[in-house]
Structure 1
Amino acid sequence: MRTLSRRGAIGLGAGAVAAAGLAGCGGSADPDGSKPSSGSGKNRSGSAEPSPSPTAPARPLGDGSTSFTGKQPHQPAAPRPLGPGQEPPQFVVFSWDGAGEVGNGLFPRFLDLAKEHGAAMTFFLSGIYLLPESKKRLYDPPGNRRGASDIGYLTDAHIKDTLKYLRRAWLEGHEIGTHFNGHFCGEGSGSVGNWTSRQWRSEIDQAKAFVKEWRTNSGWTDLEALPFDYDKELVGGRTPCLLGQDNLLPTARALGWRYDASSPGGRQTWPTKKQGIWDLPLQQIPFPGRGFEVLSMDYNMLANQSVNSTKAPSHNYPRWRQQAAQAYIQGFKRAFETNRAPFFVGNHFEQWNGGIYMDAVEEAFKHIAREKEKGADVRLVSFRQFVDWLDVQKPEVLAKLRTLEVGQRPAGGWQAFLGAQAPASRRPSAA
């Protein structure tokens, strides 16, 4: 377990608290001892949800674990470049590390929430969440013993639930990225922070294989295939504990990835590319009542509120829940009312400290969705959808947007700020 600083950018995910008895990144039982919800596939009103449908008949791929089912449903219209003087949209991306359903009903809870508000999210799947523990020796983690993992393997029942909700997520328009596999965040050569580019390639190849071959590895032939080609679907990820990006990026670029969400301690400004890949970091956002900012992730709220304890005294929960919700809301408002930088939020399907972080992120999500529903150009999208938009923008426009600092409004308003665009010959190479 790695020691955390309590201030500023805390680049750790849930797996860093394994010593507290958590599997981390969505792979734990409810640590607060509450009774898990059933995750039955019903919405909160109790009515059954119709199964989402693909756009074409399924064509099995490989061993039939995945399939081609046509164009992904529920995607936005093709993006267009901003016109002269046009105000940029406010993009917001909610993302989930691990993305395993462990009987607490959190995966379907947030699928329901997204569906209610016409939003898309990114689910960073840990590959071993589709690998039965009985077959764990199929995993050969770089720098670690075969079958090792710093997060827990899921039960067979929870793997089946995870498959069900991954299928639903993709068919409802969400993105399936990767959180890699074993979540090794310790010291030494086995840590993801010390992996070479070749080791990252091994980890990625294995993560993809566990998704593409879950049917062979499990022997389950009575479950529906995942409705996507993972070789084409996978265009980005987030590393465990936000470690190891520098050596990951050459491999990501060679694989044709379009973005990486692993940078620690980003700021609320418009993004750039790093080694040819869009660099989309978690961000420093206001932390109400404190003299420092906090990283826009549930685990980092926890680390600053309860010094890494996932089951602190419950009398703190209402205050901490409100503080976390307001941190997200203030981060959104700061961007929305000033430079319109995209706002990124990271989460885990965990019930830490009584589930307050899940409640906080839902409150913030609803606040943001209300702005959209009132007519503001707020777009709740996946990372993939956001880079689709970035990739059609004029480089000189993105360069101008990057000149706006955190909380800085465009001088003279958007019409004046983006009204005159630089000629093509002056396009900066960074974009």
Structure 2
Amino acid sequence: MFDITRRGLIGLGVGAAASLGLVGCGTDGAGGRPRGEHGGGAGAPGAPGGRGGDGRPRRPKNQVRPIGDGSTAYTGKQPNQPARPVPLEPGEKPPQFVVFSWDGAGEVGNGLFPRFLKAAADHGVHMTFFLSGLYLLPESQKRLYRPPNNPVGASAIGYLTDGHVKETLKNVRRAWLEGHEIGTHFNGHFCDGTGSVANWTPAQWRSEIAQAKSFVKEWRTNTGWADLPPLPFDYDKELIGGRTPCLLGQDNLLPAARELGWRYDASSPGGLQCWPRTKQGVWDLPLQGVPFPGRTFEVLSMDYNMLANQSLNSTRAPAYNYPGWRTQATEAYLAGFNRAYETNRAPFFVGNHFEEWNGGIYMDAVEESLKRIAGRKDVRCVSFRQFVDWLDVQDPRILAELQSLGVGEVPGGGWKSLGKGSRSAA
């Protein structure tokens, strides 16, 4: 798997701006592990439903109800979710939100998907996994994919082996049951030439989204595998946002996203560490510039962009560089987190890939940062879905005050003034 975000390397600092990756955090209200493959309890396959007072079988409370060809199923409300969000009170300091997100979300035998599921469970973290639809489509069936402005079956990323498709299904299933979000990274990851996603129309984005959904909803038909359990969610309802390949094409994606009822998009490059706003009626949740230790410029909050500055796009640079780059990456994550945490409390968004670029140093830096930040006061590591749930219940007046704060800025009258009519300092 080589699913990268090469475009959107905004001119922050060195020509191709950069980004790093991630930060871990303790989460308010995170639940424990589910008890079984389907969450345990009455909804688990084979669990008896019992009988009612009239002697007739009682329907299990969380009965698995297959959807379509049985590739997905309704299994009840998603388990392991935070408490219902509530509005900030006037004068209340907002939580520090951090969102870890993963582009592609395929398991290719390097163990990175389960590694970070374990790290999330160990530290009370929820994440968003932007699943590439093609990662559930066997290469033998690639002609089912009709990418806009590209040949039938074409893809700029490789199709997975059948074994890796099965591992991806296993980990996506586990991720949802443990409380994480399953978004989309679309399909073929086209970033160059006339077929680039940068050139797609809203209608072409609708086609791409429909195909991405179909590969998730019809993997059983496309693979012929009848012995694997379904994905335990209704993807039509689960899918409320995504991130485009190479951070390209958002302007024409958004009309399609809005029509489909999506609530956010995470495709913008070059954002600042400020509170988000909506764009075309959809929450715009961009990757952000964060401090790059030892340099005078900032980098985008994504692992590949960090790599672009450290090794000039090489994914296998000389190993003697790795210790210093690993430290620099870790410190960049922490610097981005701390700047928001200590000032405007803007959410910190980070993008990553399940890749072992440059000896896996970016994965190590992510996990080390997670361990060092987890449990900090007021910190919530959530999925994008959980974050927009929180945004949507806030008082618009208080939210507008938060949005008025610049990078590294606090309300002019301190947090006790929030929502009480004062304005932030200029």
Residue 117 of structure 2 aligns to a residue in which SS? helix
- How big is each residue's C-alpha offset from its partner over 1:136-176, in whole Å with a ceiling of 9 and x where there is no partner? 00000000000000000000000000000000000000000
The residue that corresponds to 1:97 in the other structure is: 103
| 1:320 maps to which of 300, 319, 325 | 325
Partner of 1:53: 39
Please give the secondary structure, in 2, of the residue aligned with 1:370.
coil
Say if 1:11 and 1:75 are closer, same or farther in 2 by CA, change over 3 A. Answer: farther
Bigger mean CA offset, 154-163 vs 361-370: 361-370
Distance 1:261 1:279, change over 3 A: same
Match of 1:176 among 182, 189, 192: 182
Q: What pairs with 1:26-41 in structure 2 (closer than 5 Å)?
A: none
Q: Given that residues 93 and 381 in structure 1 are in contact (C-alpha distance below 8 angstroms), is that contact kept between their aligned partners in structure 2?
A: yes
Aligned partner of 1:220 among 220, 225, 229: 225
1:326-405 equivalences in 2 (<5 Å): 326-371=331-376, 376-405=377-406
Q: Does 1:129 align with 2:135?
A: yes
**1:426 maps to which residue?**
none
- For the pair 1:63 / 2:49, whether they are aligned, the reply is no
Name the structure 2 match of 1:305.
310
Residue identity opposite 1:306 in structure 2:
S
What is the CA-CA distance between 1:412 and the residue it aligns to?
Answer: 2.8
Q: Which letter does structure 2 place at the counterpart of 1:68? A: Y
CA–CA separation in structure 1 for the residues paired with 2:293 and 2:419:
33
Shift of 1:410: 2.0
How far apart are 1:416 and its partner, in Å? 1.9
Q: What is the CA–CA distance in structure 2 between the aligned matches of 1:131 and 1:341, rounded to whole Å?
A: 38
Question: Residues 421 and 82 of structure 1: is their aligned pair in 2 closer, same or farther, counting only changes over 3 Å?
Answer: farther
Partner of 1:412: 413
Aligned residue type for 1:406: V
Is the aligned partner of 1:193 residue 2:198? yes
Equivalent residues of 2:308, 2:314 under 8 A apart: yes
Distance (whole Å) between structure 1 residues aligned to residue 18 and residue 339 of structure 2: 24
AA in 2 matched with 1:204:
I
Offset of residue 53 of structure 1: 1.1
The within-5 A match list for 1:241-280 is 241-280=246-285
Q: Does 1:234 align with 2:235?
A: no
Q: Quick check: 1:82 aligned with 2:92?
A: no
Aligned residues: 383
Q: Deviations over 1:391-428 (max 9, x none)?
A: 00011111100111101122232012333489xxxxxx
Deviations 1:291-348 (A, max 9, x none): 1000000000000000000000000000001111111100000000000000001000
1:9-29 Cα offsets, whole Å, 9 max, x none, are 95899xxxxxxxxxxxxxxxx
Aligned partners of 1:366, 1:420: CA distance in 2, in Å?
38
RMSD over aligned Cα atoms: 2.0
Residue 350 and residue 289 in structure 1: after superposition, are their counterparts in 2 closer, same or farther (change >3 A)?
A: same
Per the alignment, residue 152 of structure 1 pairs with 158
Runs (5+) with no aligned partner, structure 1: 14-48, 423-431
Aligned CA distance change for structure 1 residues 153 and 352 (closer, same or farther; 3 Å): same
Q: How far apart, CA to CA, are the structure 1 residues paired with 2:397 and 2:349?
A: 23
**1:366: Cα distance to partner?**
1.5
Aligned twin of 2:78: 72
1:5 CA displacement: 6.9
- SS of alignment partner, residue 60 of structure 1: strand
Q: Distance in 2 between matches of 1:417 and 1:109?
A: 40
With structure 1 as the length reference, what TM-score do the two structures score? 0.86
Q: 1:369 to 1:10 in 2, by over 3 A?
A: farther
Q: Tell me if structure 1 keeps the 8 A contact 2:97–2:380.
A: yes
3-state DSSP of counterpart to 2:102: strand
Provide the C-alpha distance between the structure 2 equivalents of 1:400 and 1:7, rounded to a whole number of angstroms. 27
Question: Is the CA contact 2:126–2:383 (under 8 Å) kept in the aligned structure 1?
Answer: yes
Aligned equivalents of 1:379, 1:53: Cα separation in 2: 23
Q: Distance in 2 between matches of 1:340 and 1:278?
A: 18
Code of the aligned partner of 1:133: E
Contact 1:11–1:264, Cα closer than 8 Å, also in 2: no
1:110 aligned residue:
116
Give the corresponding residue for 1:43: none
**Structure 1 residue 187, shift from structure 2 partner:** 2.0
5+ unaligned residues in a row in structure 2: which ranges? 20-34, 44-61
1:161 is the counterpart of 2:167:
yes
**What is the letter of the counterpart of residue 191 of structure 1?**
S
Q: Distance in 2 between matches of 1:6 and 1:301?
A: 13
Taking the aligned partners of 1:418 and 1:411, their CA distance within structure 2 comes to 12
